[in-house]
Structure 1
Amino acid sequence: MNKSFPRLAAMALALSLTACSANAPKPEAPLEGARIGGGFTLIDQDGKTVKDTDFAGKHRIIYFGYSYCPDVCPIDLQKIAQGFALFEKQQPERAKAIQPIFISIDPERDTPEVIKQYVAAFHPRLIGLTGTLEQIKAVADAYVVVFAKQQGEGSEGGGYLVDHSRQAYLMGPKGEPVALLPYDESPEAIAAEIDKWTA
């Protein structure tokens, strides 16, 4: 037997204990320092003016989409909502300090009334935001979200589709970017990612 093995094992144990220590440095957030996010003034599902500063002190889960989206948006939102609901069940107190937000990129059709009905289908705490096209373009640019109205063959009863990039952002208490949530994975994976970066 290698005589140095006990010493190496002791060193490994010491390192592992150090890594588990409360004094261990917190890992850098994946989006730390990225130029994502910014101020906005929009309208919520109740027709009230909402500003980004209204969420100060809370983490935010932000997803851009639109209610007439035939498949992608509702699937993404369902998974995000399920992941958040699972986290709520596991960490109810911490979940109170997180606000899920849906921002429409189709303000022409997504009126507050439409948004209200839409977000209610996913989670009772999900806030839906809309506004003028100029306001939506400004907030989409700030969050590095690209969207474009597609004329021609569109969704059933909608008349057109809107192509858009897909991101589910986890933003920090000051509105800073923290991480991307894995909307294409399981609710458990989403809940784990929320837990990881909001502790």
Structure 2
Amino acid sequence: MTRQGKILLSFALMATLLIGTIAIIGLRATPKPADAGAPIGGPFELVEMTGAPVTEKSLIGKPTAIFFGFTYCPEVCPTTLMELTSALKTLGPEADELNVVFVSVDPARDTPEQMKLYLSNFDPRIRGFTGTPEAIAEAAKAYRVYYRKVPVEGGTYTVDHSSSVYLFDADGRFVEPIAYGAPHERVVAQLRSLAQRRG
């Protein structure tokens, strides 16, 4: 190798080492999200669509799939509830091992009666929870769920909200989410795996 070639090779090696060092420093310096590692789930005091009071303790003993939305939702909620209904049908008797819960983020309109009427369109094993605005806010905070009222034409409103279904084991520990729009086979596999968990 010529002297010029050796010099070029040395520069190339130094440049590679420098880029690698910068990348490592950058990765170490990247801040973690403020809520990284924060638990999902926690205490709540809500009302079931039957009118009975319900807390997080009511779900202990069975694995739980929980979804936050509202009955006037135009797309995300009915799509998710139809997918859950289909997945529960596919699971057959295994589905009886699960709690499946729909929690309203629109307590002004979602009374227990409205929740019951709305959920009559889906699998009867899906339970509806609602409550006061304060109780809903506390539950959403515990489950790290985002929601925000958005005015629309005509003086009414819609609600932007998180779209994932959250899965918990029989002891109330967070397992994983089901992403909105996940393939049916994936949803069934996640719920089947959840139903087979024993805490």
Fold conserved (TM > 0.5)?
yes
Larger proportion of helix: 2
The answer for the alignment partner of 2:8 in structure 1 is: none
Aligned to 1:153: 153
Equivalent residue for 2:57, pick from 53, 58, 83: 53
1:15-46 deviation per Cα after TM superposition (whole angstroms, max 9, x unaligned) = xxxxxxxxxxxxxxxxxx75100111111111
Task: Number of aligned residue pairs: give it.
Answer: 160
Contact (CA 8 Å) 1:102, 1:126: kept in 2 or not? yes
Classify the secondary structure of the residue corresponding to 2:190: helix
Q: Deviations over 1:89-140 (max 9, x none)?
A: 2xx1x43221100000000000011000111111111100000000000000
Matching residue's letter, 2:161:
H
Quick check: 2:97–2:195 contact (8 Å CA) kept in 1? no
* Matched residue, 1:28: none
2:183 is equivalent to residue 186 of structure 1: yes
SS in 2 for 1:96: helix
Runs of 4+ in 1 over 3 A off after TM superposition: none
Distance 1:162 1:43 in 2: 20
Match of 1:29 in 2: none
Q: Distance in 2 between matches of 1:102 and 1:52?
A: 13
How much is the aligned-residue C-alpha RMSD, in angstroms? Answer: 1.7
The answer for the alignment partner of 1:106 in structure 2 is 106
Whole-Å separation in 2 of the counterparts to 1:147 and 1:80: 21
Percent identity reads 39
Greater relative contact order (CA < 8 Å, ≥ 6 in sequence): 1
Aligned counterpart, 1:134 = 134
1:182/1:189 contact within 8 Å kept: no
Pick one of 75, 78, 98 that aligns with 1:74. 78
Preserved CA contact (<8 Å) 1:80 1:187: no
Contact kept in structure 1, 2:60 and 2:170, CA below 8 Å: yes
Secondary structure of 2:57's counterpart equals: helix
Does the C-alpha gap of structure 1 residues 97 and 196 become closer, same or farther in structure 2, counting only changes over 3 Å? closer
Secondary structure, counterpart of 1:76 in structure 2: helix
Indicate if the aligned counterparts of 1:42 and 1:131 stay in contact, CA closer than 8 A. Answer: yes
**Scaled by the length of structure 1, what TM-score is found?**
0.75
Larger Rg over CA atoms: 2
TM-score where L is the length of structure 2: 0.75
Matches within 5 A, 1:116-127: 116-127=116-127
SS in structure 2 opposite 1:113?
helix
